[in-house]
Amino acid sequence: MTNARTTPDPAPAKMLPLYQAGDDAGRLDAAIGYPGQYPFTRGIQPTMYRGRLWTMRQYAGMGDAEESNRRYKFLLASGTAGLSVAFDLPTQIGYDSDDPVAMGEVGKVGVAIDSIEDMERLFDGIQLDRISTSMTINATASILLALYVAVARRTGAEVRKLSGTVQNDILKEYIARGTYIYPVSHAMRIITDMFAWANDEVPEWNTISISGYHMREAGSTAVQEVAFTLANGRTYVQAAVAAGLDIDRFAPRLSFFFNAHSNFLEEVAKFRAARRMWARIMREEFGAKNPRSWMLRFHAQTAGSTLTAQQPENNIVRTAVEALAAVLGGTQSLHTNGYDEALALPTEEAARIALRTQQIIAYESGVAQTVDPFAGSYCIEALTDGIEKEAVAYLEKISQMGGMLRAIERGYVQQEIQNAAYEYQRAVDSGDAVVVGVNRFTRETEPEIALQRIDEALERKQVERLRALRARRDAANWQAGLRAVEDAARGGTNLMPAILQAVEAYATVGEIAGKLREVFGEYEEAVVI
């Protein structure tokens, strides 16, 4: 039996802030450069985590606004530095909680938000201009951002100091996730309207998080994740430039979202390759002049698809390995999954362990004491170069097809991901790919663990609140708000001021999305044969 540690370990060996090839002679390895300098292979900041740790977020949202608010306050008290909001499916696809389409889904995979009152309850007691908030929302991102700004105004927060992110990456919804509403051209118009509006109104806000995460969850390889994410990013930049926006005004607010998967060394190299590729795309292809426009800033989340329902405690180890890969790859923000998420939404205990995993990496592992400690490794540099080479080949092929929109319409991207997923599943089924506790090292029975449960009464309560709001709101103001949304949609003016007017007049998410549906129509996925 070992005794609990009562005295600290001996002082670790002193590390240099930065290592380079030939440090004894003060020489720079020109092949990989310095952190904080183009092409940012080694990180976007000169000091990286020595200057500031990554933002520790825990993605959360369940049931109604009050229940989610309790979880946020628990996470903040446990040491998270930023919030990350999960919305339920009706909110994500623009239906109110009392819509027949929403029945049985209210509050199940995230929090139900119908109105400004829900948003007020969600952030009750939280100072919005002192916390960074990430919202995983896409087709209805414009409405949720407007709700956030409206609540900030009501609580006296300084709107220009609001910081955070809306995911707002609609292209990957057509590829891998499916929570789209409008045809592609109209969805892109909403996004560029948000870019332009936020530049002036909420300049610290990231108006898009270009996401490879969901493509990796759908089965893509690391190379595909990089290539297809950057191809989407290139498409958003092209759309914004075509809309007349100044690249060096909006590009510094672009952010990315990657998966931290289980192949540790490949993942470290993947992040380094993506950063270098984006820098070259922005400077050499688009001619951006501001160095901040060249920087790929990214959030990472450990891989939900690697979590297993069998022996779920093994997921704690998987998450730790994946989180360490994200940190060594240079992430700016990180969410670590709960070990029970293959079975249900995470319990408080699972969320605490996931957060403690980040804190142990930050404060006990030593990896934050020096910048890009793997740089110069024969393995890491070869993997970085190899991922870049293969990803560039994908980008060139997509360009030959006429761009990412055309590649999506043809089903090319979707098919490439499906093929990769199929090949991996074949490897698992044959035993060539080992999943511990699933196809090797199994056990006959699984012990029961406590799971997070959503109270079925919450849906009824949410519907009752929504109907009560409709009964007491000022009908004239509400109708004027929805007319403003319709007029902006038909007339081509920026949608965001009208959406903000509508939410402040108590128009609901479903009503605003419905008005846009009337004008724009709905996207129908093509059947590719």
- The residue written with tokens 């020096």 in the block is 370
User: Average pLDDT, stretch 187-203?
Assistant: 96
Could you give the CA distance from residue 205 to residue 133 in angstroms, rounded to a whole number?
9
- Cα of first residue to Cα of last residue in the chain, in angstroms, is 64
Residues 175, 261: one domain? yes
Last residue of a domain, one of 430, 463, 490: 430
Could you give the CA distance from residue 108 to residue 112 in angstroms, rounded to a whole number?
8
In-domain check, residue 464: no
pLDDT at 9: 56
pLDDT category at 25 given cuts 50, 70, 90 is very low
Residues 228, 300: one domain? yes
Are 135 and 163 within 8 A, CB to CB?
no
Are 50 and 370 within 8 A, CB to CB?
yes
pLDDT at 249 over 80: yes
Decide: residue 352, CB within 10 A, 0-12 exposed, 13-18 middle, 19+ buried: middle
Residues 485, 354: one domain? no
Tokens for 244, please give them: 């007349």
In-domain check, residue 463: no
pLDDT at 447: 80
Residues 339, 485: one domain? no
Could you give the CA distance from residue 376 to residue 374 in angstroms, rounded to a whole number?
6
pLDDT digit string, tens, across residues 287-319: 999 999 999 999 999 999 999 999 999 999 999
Residues sharing a CB contact under 8 Å with residue 448, sequence separation 6 or more, in sequence order: none
DSSP label at residue 281? I
Are 252 and 291 within 8 A, CB to CB?
no
Total domains in the fold of the chain: 2
CATH number, domain with residue 408? 3.20.20.240
Residues 497, 410: one domain? no
In-domain check, residue 318: yes
pLDDT at 7 over 60: no
Are 509 and 96 within 8 A, CB to CB?
yes
- Inter-axis angle of helices 495-504 and 509-520, nearest 10: 150
Residues 492, 377: one domain? no
pLDDT category at 336 given cuts 50, 70, 90 is very high
pLDDT digit string, tens, across residues 151-175: 999 999 999 999 999 999 999 999 9
- The residue written with tokens 């329902």 in the block is 309
Could you give the CA distance from residue 333 to residue 463 in angstroms, rounded to a whole number?
35
pLDDT category at 449 given cuts 50, 70, 90 is confident
Name the 3-class secondary structure at 371: strand
Q: What are 165's strand-pairing partners? A: 134, 206
Are 234 and 405 within 8 A, CB to CB?
no
Residues 363, 507: one domain? no
Could you give the CA distance from residue 238 to residue 162 in angstroms, rounded to a whole number?
27
Domain span including residue 512: 477-520
pTM across the whole model: 0.93
Residues 492, 375: one domain? no
Q: How crowded is residue 230: how many other Cβ atoms within 10 Å of its Cβ?
A: 25
Residues 362, 495: one domain? no
Could you give the CA distance from residue 6 to residue 9 in angstroms, rounded to a whole number?
9
Residues 371, 484: one domain? no
Residues sharing a CB contact under 8 Å with residue 512, sequence separation 6 or more, in sequence order: 94, 143, 482, 485, 499, 502, 503
Residues 510, 375: one domain? no
pLDDT digit string, tens, across residues 79-122: 998 899 999 999 999 999 999 999 999 999 999 999 999 999 99
pLDDT category at 482 given cuts 50, 70, 90 is very high
Could you give the CA distance from residue 524 to residue 296 in angstroms, rounded to a whole number?
32
Q: What are 298's strand-pairing partners? A: 256
In-domain check, residue 35: no
Handedness of CA 229, 256, 87, 334 (dihedral sign): positive
